[in-house]
Amino acid sequence: MRLKIYNSLVNKHTGIRQRYHAMHDNSSGIVKALSWLYLLWLNFAFYCLFQKWLAKDKGVELYESKSLKTDAPESGECPLGTPEQLVEKLSKFDVISFDIFDTLIFRPFSAPTDLFFLIGQRLSYMDFKRIRVEAEHKSRMEQFNKNGTFEVTLEDIWATVSEMTGLDAEKGVALETEIELSMCYANSYMRNVFDALVSMGKHIVITSDMYLTKDLLEKILSQNGYKGYDELYVSCEIDLGKSDGQLFDYVRDECIEAYGKNITFAHIGDNEVSDVKNADSHGFKAFHYPNVNKNTIMNRTFDMSPIIGGAYRGVVNNRLYAGMDSMNMNQEFGFIYGGLFVMGYCNYIHDYVESHNIDKVMFLSRDGEIIKRIYDNMYPDDDTCYAYISRLAAAKLSAGYLKYDFLRKMVYHKATNEKTMSQVLEAMELPDLKIKNGRRKLHYGNVNSFIDFLNENWDSVLETYKPQREAAGEWYRELIGEAKSAVVVDIGWAGSGYLALKNLFEKEWNIDCQLTGIVAGTNTANNAEPDMSETMLLDGSMLSYLYSSMDNRDLYKKHDPAKDYNLYFELITSSPSPSFKGFYYDENGEIELRFSKPEDNPEGIKDIWDGIEKFVNDYRWHFSDYEYMFNISGRDAYAPMLLAASHNEKYLKTIYKNFDLKVAVE
């Protein structure tokens, strides 16, 4: 009977269950009693007040929506000013105290407990993060009940972990110590401040509420360049904490005894209560250094797998909000929304290349330029090349094999009543074909008669393009070299560039190299031609990273070219280089590559690239020893862009308005 009542009140609705457990779990005393009243209120509100939304867990909403900044970059100057300005303020005090974590030292996660995932992976132990958090809470409660203090050591926590799991406590302490040392790194903003104050001869102390031992914290500080401080005070070793201010009293007394009575104190840290309010009320002038993850809820996506999501948010927040790096909006677009995608895509490509013993990785221009740049940095031993192609060039070269696609791109898409038939023929590089009434505008009313004209002269069309096919074949034969297999990498969407090359390799140029297509994304349910690539996806001759009709179908239905989603992704991988027109022979019979005009905002594109490279470099620096951290799913890679599409793509439209990508066949 009791179990039935519990299931009815707690487990019947996901939202009620999770709200109740969030308050009840690990609680005691009056909080536990209040959690039972809260449970009754939740059920009353749901059934009697018809608050049906309480049944839903906000964490499983299909897509997040947040109001992102569109008027200015997120990154900027720290509220405390530049490092030099902060040094000037702090230099007026005799003793300067620093907090450690999220002040002097960062971890590359948005929540410190995410580090426990890495420990659990090494231990091959399920649900270890939650167990480790629960063990720490349990240890603190036991310590309080015995000794009236919540201060515990890492050894205390692992004794509880061992009791709960059977894991060896000594080995656990050693492993957590090892991973802490590998993950912790210096906040460059604070490192500059710290070094300047040390060089002035100021008395520097470090004051931390922490379960890690003083010896370990000294190692963390030392390996990150923090040297020259006078003393390190750790709550778990003194049994006094900043949470009630007693540790500050202890530090003041120690410093007065060492340096004299008439000295002034300053403390800098991220916690608004323990580092600011309590420091102020215990004789320290507090300087608040806002936690870099303070704005995570407002600005970052949580619609990601837990480990990759925590790492992504941590890497982004640590750079944007540390106070050292100010980016413009184009750089931030690349950093926040492009970096994870490009890096994950490169890893996806590399995994396929390795597992299938592929000889060469061929990146198609121009979307492949930044992808190749990142890929070559990540996997320098792979054989890669940059292949010139474009929608225009591919259409001309493969006209004899993909006629329908040729007519669709070169004719149907131009039947907009803007150009005359003669102008369209000129753009198709068919000036020798003379059509009756060529001065008439091409539109949907006469497009079929125009196509009839092309059909009547089809042999002439193919003959006109023959020199280009021959020049391209010669160029690609040299590019491919001795490779017997290659992947053809593009942003998307139908895979026409890959398919054009596949037909030409096999039927025109007789190049003995098996090609496989890899695209970031395919056509979607919102395309006029959603099924263009289905056979290639099904037989495995083409793969898609982000989504397809078979994988991540929510993205397959969400991604809408009519809302410019293709363009937003193409902006991430856009190039400052001009669009490629085709292969030709010059007057000396040498192969000539011709290009059209470059993009209108090449500097903006370079800024996007800079942001992408910053993210990839940061992420790789932190996680290079954790190979599995690069297994970024297509769904995770797309998640930041889903958030950017909030509120009718307002943020993305703001970024894109400064660009006018040349994506149509000219």
DSSP string, 91-152: TTSSEEEE-TBTTTEE-SSSSGGGHHHHHHHHHT-TTHHHHHHHHHHHHHHHHHHHHS----
499/618 Cα distance (integer angstroms): 36
* Model confidence pLDDT, tens digit, residues 270-280: 999 999 999 99
CA distance 593 to 585: 9
Buried b (16+ CB within 10 A) or exposed e, 521-556: bbbbeebeeeebbeebbeeebbbbbbbbbebbeebb
pLDDT at 26 over 70: no
The pLDDT of residue 243 is 87
**Rounded Cα–Cα distance for residues 111 and 464 (Å):** 62
Q: Is 199 exposed, middle or buried (0-12, 13-18, 19+ CB in 10 A)?
A: exposed
What's the residue count for the chain?
A: 666
The mean pLDDT value for 411-430 works out to 92
Residue type for 254, please? E
- pLDDT of the residue at 484: 98
- Mean pLDDT confidence for 589-596: 96
d(CA 312, CA 615): 9
pLDDT reading at 18 higher than 90: no
Q: What pLDDT sits at residue 62? A: 67
Q: Give the pLDDT band of residue 587 (cuts 50, 70, 90).
A: very high
Question: Over 90: is that where the pLDDT of 663 sits?
Answer: no
Residue 383: phi and psi, rounded to 5, are: -85, 110
Is the model's pLDDT at 28 over the cut of 90? no
What mean pLDDT do residues 12-34 have? 79
Around 522, how many Cα atoms within 13 Å sit in the side-chain half-sphere?
28
pLDDT at 664: 60
Which one, of 162, 194, 179, lies nearest residue 115 by Cα?
Answer: 179
Q: For residues 638-662, give the mean pLDDT.
A: 92
Q: How remote is the C-alpha of 60 from its chain's centroid?
A: 20
Predicted pLDDT at 61? 63
Task: Calculate mean pLDDT across residues 528-539.
Answer: 94
pLDDT in tens, 458-511: 999 999 999 999 999 999 999 999 999 999 999 999 999 999 999 999 999 999
- Which contacts of 506-512 are long-range, i.e. CB under 8 A and separated by 24 or more positions? 507/401, 508/400, 508/401, 508/469, 508/473, 509/472, 509/473, 509/476, 509/477, 511/473, 511/476, 511/477, 511/480, 512/484
Q: What is the pLDDT of residues 191-242, one digit of tens each?
A: 999 999 999 999 999 999 999 999 999 999 999 999 999 999 999 999 899 9
pLDDT at 58: 61
Token digits of residue 478: 């040299």
Surface-to-core class of residue 333, CB atoms within 10 Å of its CB (0-12 exposed, 13-18 middle, 19+ buried): buried
pLDDT at residue 531 is higher than 60: yes
What is the residue extent of each domain of the chain? 2-60, 83-296, 344-602
Give the pLDDT mean for 359-378.
98
CATH class for the region spanning 83-296: alpha beta
- Give Cα 332 to chain centroid, integer Å: 11
pLDDT band of 282, cuts 50, 70, 90: very high
Minimal CA–CA distance to 490: which of 365, 392, 581, 593?
A: 365
pLDDT for residue 53 is more than 80: no
Query: What single DSSP character describes residue 645?
Result: T
CB contact set of 170 (below 8 Å; sequence gap of 6+): 158
End-to-end CA distance of the chain: 74
pLDDT given at position 121: 98
So what's the pLDDT on residue 5? 82
The pLDDT, as a whole number, for residue 407 is: 95
Task: Quote the DSSP letter at residue 338.
Answer: I
pLDDT tens-digit profile of 543-577?
Answer: 999 999 999 999 999 999 999 999 999 999 999 99
Spatial CA neighbour of 604 closest among 654, 558, 666, 562 = 654
Whole-number average pLDDT of the chain: 94
Instruction: Please tell me the predicted confidence (pLDDT) of residue 3.
Output: 74
Both tokens of 382, joined, read 């792979």
Find the helix packing angle between 214-223 and 169-183, rounded to 10°. Answer: 30
For residues 154 and 304, what is the distance between their CA atoms, to the nearest angstrom? 30
Strand order in the sheet with 542-544: 384-387, 360-364, 485-490, 514-519, 542-544
pLDDT of residue 589: 94
* pLDDT score, position 154: 96
pLDDT at 278: 96
Q: Return the number of other C-beta atoms located less than 10 Å from residue 379's C-beta.
A: 17
At CB < 8 A and 24+ separation, what contacts does 532-537 make? 532/494, 532/495, 533/494, 533/495, 536/495, 536/499
What is the Rg, in whole angstroms, of the alpha carbon atoms belonging to the chain? 31
Answer whether 214's CB lies under 8 Å from 229's CB. Answer: no
> Is it the case that residue 528 has pLDDT exceeding 90?
no
Share of the chain above pLDDT 70, in %: 98
Q: Which pLDDT does position 373 carry in this prediction?
A: 98
Residue scoring higher pLDDT (120 or 28): 120
Q: Over 70: is that where the pLDDT of 265 sits?
A: yes
Write out the H or E segment, with its range, that includes residue 232: strand 231-234
Q: State pTM to two decimals.
A: 0.91
644, pLDDT greater than 80: yes
Determine which helix (DSSP H) or strand (DSSP E) holds 23, and give its type and residue range. helix 14-24
What is the model's pLDDT at position 59?
59
